[in-house]
Structure 1
């Protein structure tokens, strides 16, 4: 017996970008990047595919074609099911999301872009109620994470990096999570998520494997996460918090992460809309062990101030800017972005990024190199 499943509907979209990147003392870089999204639907399920590609004129590490998502999903009455390679977004704040722990970052693409992620293989099932949802999920295994070479401007290391991942348990030890989300409008509109996770943390630290080389080490945890936002008039108040209990690891401490933020919009100011953001991030360690193990810990006792200006013109012009300031060390990251549509499917974009690190910090390994980007993106 042969079963044939036909696609009743197909949706296709591609973004293709050509960028010129200047990194001070490093060679100027031309980058061709993009992605292709494909959705196929039939009577049984929906299939989603995301193909990403990157080609750098200067750095071999930044040349790849990656199948970053490939999953099937099905909704049946009050249930939904998803199986495959998926990118998930868990978070409320604009600058950094401590609760966004399902996927690893794609450091080959951009260490400062929180949306640059690597898909993970897993399974999810959700049960929907009137105003809430209960989800059970499993990530099947842990994947190696690549970093740029030490002689590139994108590398956070001073030593060679071996991308063979080390483990506290086996690679195929699953990571489980249970998420409960609900909304409430008793006093103000709000949405809250509570996540319980058991398995590998998305944060990893590094071990020396030779005199001049290091590798990532993945450890297992029990983790509790809280995400919440409350809308009051034109303002949105946000919170992300987490507590991590490290399982059987003598090198890294249990830790608490806290972040709070507020967003407010001002509309029709000489025809433009302005949104402003203010956020605060804090790490708290229970014991004096390894700290500052990855780039996410830049966001420790830091304030993030940002704005977004929408000109509401026919070109959809937008300008964004922000400063991340470390209260203790005084180091900063300054970033500004702009974009405007030239014709229907062609967008001009630009970016300026400037780290201002202090000595002997994780950010200091990335250096003070300014990054300037000018690019065009075509959508078809």
Structure 2
């Protein structure tokens, strides 16, 4: 991932990122048509043009995988016009919006569909068509969203180790008769008060999470309608940061597809403590501890009753090197998922990222499908601008 900041003056910027990815699985595959090693290429192109109080931006993402044709995909991450003034801002087109403050999960991040064909951390998002209005208020902002198109979740093919353990039908069911053209709505209010950042948000529309219904052609993806109320809290106390995300969601009943109404309650809360100049060096070490709760069952979600503990090491060097290691531990059945991520720049035009994931499942839970899928991932990126 990279960020491009554009000055609100006349000018334009063109930026390209070419990536090579290698995934090496630790265990042998259970199926003969799956592999232990997967290679892939990516291209990310960014263009922006600014003029007075307006900005035009476009970002195109392309992935090509060695073995899994279902992972070959093209996505318009961004393609929007932005108009800004002293008290308001309009954004129209395709864009990405992030909501969230915690490390281990982002419960309230509901605007964009997750690109599950990319990182296992679910941080990558597909572009979302939107009309986005922002009104600046005292120490904060009020945002309105109109979302006229829905992106379905994409799945790995059977050739990939992260494939679902069942056949997925090519048909997709929706609760709304408008299907992908259902118009979703969202509202967010956020404010900073001294050392406290808080926000509340509401959403009504198509559920970004998919359900699977049995059919003659395997399991059929189903997207229902939902209403969601969320909140975030982040409080800075010296070297301590207290964080929390809170969620209330109601999925609406759909008698035609035998779907009952469900009320979901979830939260993730914890803290991060930063030790500056650890061991009398230039390094900073952060300690992370968070608790996840979700009223859904262990078969439906990962963070149902879990504790996350981790550390983040920032080397504070010219290459922006960083390492993070974390463990998510299920208090109910002792299942665990572990991850290690590191990144650094190699000069001005090259960046390397390394990630490793290990899964240990006990009992009947969401992690079962990742049993024996421990993996090491290496990404190398080259950047070009003109």
- Which shows bigger deviation, 138-147 or 339-348? 339-348
- After TM superposition, the score normalised by the length of structure 2 is 0.88
Alpha carbons of structure 1 residues 150 and 363: separation in structure 2 relative to 1, 3 Å: farther
| 1:229 is aligned to 2:234 | yes
Q: Which residue of 2 aligns with 1:132?
A: 140
Q: Distance in 2 between matches of 1:12 and 1:292?
A: 45
Alpha carbons of structure 1 residues 311 and 143: separation in structure 2 relative to 1, 3 Å: closer
Moved over 4 A (4+): 291-294
Q: Distance in 2 between matches of 1:125 and 1:165?
A: 31
Match of 2:77 among 38, 56, 68: 68
Q: Which residue of 2 aligns with 1:194?
A: 200
Deviation at 1:292, TM superposition (A): 5.6
Q: Cα deviation per residue 1:72-106 (whole Å; 9 max; x = unaligned)?
A: 11113311111111111111101110001111111
Q: Distance in 2 between matches of 1:316 and 1:76?
A: 33
Q: Which residue of 1 aligns with 2:213?
A: 207
**Cα RMSD (Å) of the superposition?**
1.9
Match of 1:310 among 300, 314, 318: 314
| 1:279 is aligned to 2:290 | yes
Q: Cα deviation per residue 1:221-263 (whole Å; 9 max; x = unaligned)?
A: 2211111111111111111101112222443521111110201
Match of 1:319 among 311, 317, 323: 323
Q: Distance in 2 between matches of 1:181 and 1:371?
A: 38
Q: Which residue of 2 aligns with 1:33?
A: 42
What SS class does the counterpart of residue 104 from structure 1 fall into?
coil
Do 1:321 and 1:335's aligned partners in 2 also have CA atoms closer than 8 Å? yes
Q: Which runs of no fewer than 5 residues in structure 2 stay unpaired?
A: 1-8, 29-34
Q: Cα deviation per residue 1:178-232 (whole Å; 9 max; x = unaligned)?
A: 21111112xxx1111111222222222111222x511221111221111111111
Q: Which residue of 1 aligns with 2:31?
A: none
| 1:159 is aligned to 2:166 | yes
Deviation at 1:358, TM superposition (A): 2.1
Do 2:248 and 2:266's aligned partners in 1 also have CA atoms closer than 8 Å? yes
Do 2:165 and 2:369's aligned partners in 1 also have CA atoms closer than 8 Å? yes
- Which shows bigger deviation, 116-125 or 31-40? 31-40
Q: Which residue of 2 aligns with 1:299?
A: 303
Deviation at 1:61, TM superposition (A): 1.5
Larger fraction in strand: 1
Deviation at 1:134, TM superposition (A): 1.2
Alpha carbons of structure 1 residues 316 and 86: separation in structure 2 relative to 1, 3 Å: closer
Q: Distance in 2 between matches of 1:201 and 1:293?
A: 18
What SS class does the counterpart of residue 88 from structure 1 fall into?
coil
Do 2:23 and 2:37's aligned partners in 1 also have CA atoms closer than 8 Å? yes
Do 2:299 and 2:365's aligned partners in 1 also have CA atoms closer than 8 Å? no
| 1:173 is aligned to 2:153 | no
Do 1:143 and 1:165's aligned partners in 2 also have CA atoms closer than 8 Å? no
Q: Distance in 2 between matches of 1:329 and 1:265?
A: 31
| 1:375 is aligned to 2:379 | yes
Q: Which runs of no fewer than 5 residues in structure 1 stay unpaired?
A: 1-6, 286-290
What SS class does the counterpart of residue 208 from structure 1 fall into?
strand
What SS class does the counterpart of residue 143 from structure 2 fall into?
strand
Do 2:116 and 2:122's aligned partners in 1 also have CA atoms closer than 8 Å? no
Q: Distance in 1 between matches of 2:338 and 2:170?
A: 30
Q: Cα deviation per residue 1:306-325 (whole Å; 9 max; x = unaligned)?
A: 11112233443322111111
Aligned residues: 361
Q: Distance in 2 between matches of 1:164 and 1:274?
A: 48
